[in-house]
Every structure is written in structure tokens, then in C-alpha cells.
Chain A
Amino acid sequence: MMWLLSFVPDFVYHLLLVLSIVAFAASYFLKMIPFVSANAEVVRIVSLAVMIFAVWMEGGIANEAKWKARVAELEIKVAAAEKAAVEANGKIETVYVDRVRVVKEVQYVVQARIAKDAARIDLTCRVDPEAIDILNQAARAGDKK
């Protein structure tokens, strides 16, 4: 029934409620008016039905307002969370890039040192091909086939 709230403005239900209360009261107190006195029973039943419907819709309007406020509050929180998420992304990425840069810098220094001392390192040590095989086997362990 609450879908009606999307099509009919709220003031219509306020108006219906007021009119139904007035009509309901009139069915008791305005018996001097010929139409009312002649149709008092019908006016009472119809106005009561309209009153129930209007009260129901008033409840719906109040509930709708409560949910709209909740949605607005959530939208603000979501926007703040999205901003915080973007900031966190930036910070984490910066830390990552910095740490990787340090690794690459150290790697560069180590490789330069190896290149500089290669002649001395190779002078006293010859590597057996079996050692290379063992190293490569270890490096390939668990690789995707």
C-alpha cells in the first residue's frame, strides 16, 4: 500500500485524515443538517474507513521519513568511507613503492659489488654444473606447470 506514497503528495493524506475526523464528528453533532441526519450511518462508516486508511498512511509517511533520514545519514557515512578508502589506498601504495625502491637500490649496489669483485670471486672458486642444477631445481619448486 505504501507505494501510494510515491504517487500522491503527503498533504492529501493529512487532508483526508482531517476531513474524515470532521465528517465522523459531524455524523454525531450536526444532525440538524438534513443530509447528515439522513445519512448519518453511512457518513460514519465511510468516514471511519477513510480515517483508518489515512491513519495507516500517516504511519507510512512517518516511517518513510524515518527511512529517508536513515538513508541520508548512510549516504554521508558512505561518502566519508569512500574518501577514507581512497586515502588509505594512496598511503598503502606509497609505502609499497618506497619499500620496493629500497629493495631495488640495495639490489643495484649488490650487483655492482659482484661485478666489481667478479674476477676475485671467480679466481678461487669454480662451480660444479651439479650445483647449478640443484639451485635451479630448488628455484623451480612449486612453480605452475
Chain B
Amino acid sequence: MKLAVVVSLLFMTGCVATPVAREFPAAPASLTTACAALADVPATDKLSVVLATVTQNYAQYKECSIRVDSWNTWYNEQKKIFDSVK
């Protein structure tokens, strides 16, 4: 019985995995940066100050939106490349 186990184990050593290691590529650091919080409007009665803060927040949102778009594009592209190897 013991011999049968040893022999069958020896035969099973033929089944080895294909030694081709692969890693999903790392995303560029610029795309993995977290979006900053929106800026508060300082206490003021001047509309120009309010306007400046609001437009700054718009720009911040746009930048963050571009980052998310780019991240999605990056993931889809990289996945397509990764899956193409078969």
C-alpha cells in the first residue's frame, strides 16, 4: 500500500504548472492620487471671493473627473493587453 502511494506520487510529479509569471501592470502614480476635498468659501460679503472659490472648486472637480476617466481608460486598455496573452 505504502509503495503504491509513493509510486503514484512519483507519477503525479509530472503535473507541473507552466512557469510563466505575469503581473498586472502598476497604474501611473498620477492616476492613483486621491481627489482633494473642495475648498470652503471664506467668511466674506464679497461676491468676487465667493466666485474665486467656486471656480477653484470647479477646476478641482474637472481635474478629478479627468483622473477618473483616465483611470478607466488605463484599466480597460491594460486589461485588453493582459487578456490578449493566451
The A-B contact count (CB < 8 A) is 135
Interface of B is mostly: helix
Interface bits B33-69 vs A (CB < 8 Å: 1, else 0) = 0000111110111111011101111110011001100
Minimal beta-carbon separation of B49 from chain A (angstroms): 8
Determine whether B5 belongs to the interface, using a CB cutoff of 8 Å to chain A. Answer: no
Contacts of B66 in A (CB 8 A): 96, 99-100, 103
Contacts of B82 in A (CB 8 A): 81, 85
Q: Total interface residues on A, using CB and 8 Å?
A: 50
Minimal beta-carbon separation of A137 from chain B (angstroms): 10
Complex CA distance for A93 and B78, rounded to whole angstroms: 13
Contacts of B38 in A (CB 8 A): 139-140
> Is A2 touching B74 in the complex (CB atoms < 8 A)?
no
One of A22-30, A31-39, A46-54, A104-112 contacting the partner: A104-112
| Residue on B nearest A76 in the bound complex, by CB | B85
Determine whether A74 belongs to the interface, using a CB cutoff of 8 Å to chain B. Answer: yes
- Contact status of A92 and B73, CB under 8 A, knowing A74-B20, A81-B84, A103-B62: yes
**Which of A96, A99, A131, A139 gathers the greatest number of chain B CB atoms within 10 Å?**
A96
Contacts of A126 in B (CB 8 A): 45-47
> Is A92 touching B47 in the complex (CB atoms < 8 A)?
no
> Is B51 touching A114 in the complex (CB atoms < 8 A)?
yes
